[in-house]
Amino acid sequence: MAMHDGPINTASENPLVWRILTRRRDGVTLFRLRKDEMPLLNQNTELHGTPLYTALLQDAPDLFPELINAGARLSAEEERDPAAQAALARVFEHDLELRTKYEKR
């Protein structure tokens, strides 16, 4: 991200990623996927990656079950990222069911 040279087109590339980035984080407002966002679950953006990657970068534990249970995955490139792998491993340490769901896909 630090090397990105160009416009930030995340909102048009994947509105779900943009909603994750701009959501209210007040501890009260729950994040829920909308039906029209399901096709966007694994759509990559140039700057922020997939929705799951964005949630991992933001350390957003409230999003992990919602995204993974709906079928979100990291892209092949993101899966090779050691930081993303470490963050995902920490998620799975706290929720073994999510690991099972993620590995089934």
Domain boundaries in the chain? Answer: 10-104
User: How much is the pLDDT for 21?
Assistant: 92
Task: Quote the pTM value.
Answer: 0.89
Contact 14, 45 (CB under 8 A): yes
Cβ neighbours for 6, distance < 8 A, ≥ 6 positions apart: 46
In whole angstroms, what separates CA 50 from the centre of its chain?
A: 5
Share of the chain above pLDDT 70, in %: 91
User: How much is the pLDDT for 65?
Assistant: 95
Q: What is the pLDDT of residues 71-82, one digit of tens each?
A: 999 999 999 999
Q: Which of 65, 70, 62, 61 is nearest to 105 (CA)?
A: 70
Q: What is the pLDDT of residues 13-60, one digit of tens each?
A: 999 999 999 998 887 888 999 999 999 999 999 889 999 999 999 999
Distances, alpha carbon 87 to alpha carbons 2, 20, 48, 82, 99, in Å: 19, 17, 15, 9, 13
